[in-house]
């Protein structure tokens, strides 16, 4: 049983080293995308902006609403003293 455990650990270590070493390359990664990939990336970026913009506006509106509610609560608290 002990041999099997050592054998398994050895191969897990080898696989880990093989998986990590290609990421240690000193050569900078080049942009290998072609025109189709670049166009896809550009369209995806625009779509992301169009989706994100209304969400950000809704978050801003919620923040304003929460600030207003807090101000009203404070005013009520002040008037009750």
Q: What is the pLDDT of residue 2?
A: 74
The string of DSSP letters for 5-57 reads HHHHHHHHHHHHHHHHGGGG-SSPPP----HHHHHHHHHHHHHHHHHHHHHHH
Q: Encoding tokens for residue 28? A: 């900078």
**Whole-Å CA distances, 23 to 15, 20, 26, 55:** 14, 6, 9, 36
Domain locations along the chain: 54-81
Nearby residues of 33 by Cβ (< 8 Å), 6 or more positions away: 41
pTM: 0.47
- Say yes or no to pLDDT of 29 above 90: no
């Amino acid at each position: 049983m002990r041999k099997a455990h050592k054998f398994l650990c050895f191969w897990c270590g080898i696989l880990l080293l093989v998986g990590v070493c290609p990421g240690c390359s000193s050569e900078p990664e080049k942009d290998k995308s072609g025109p189709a990939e670049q166009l896809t990336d550009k369209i995806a970026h625009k779509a992301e902006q169009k989706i994100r913009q209304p969400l950000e506006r809704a978050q801003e509106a919620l923040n304003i609403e929460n600030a207003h509610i807090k101000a009203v609560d404070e005013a009520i608290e002040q008037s009750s003293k």
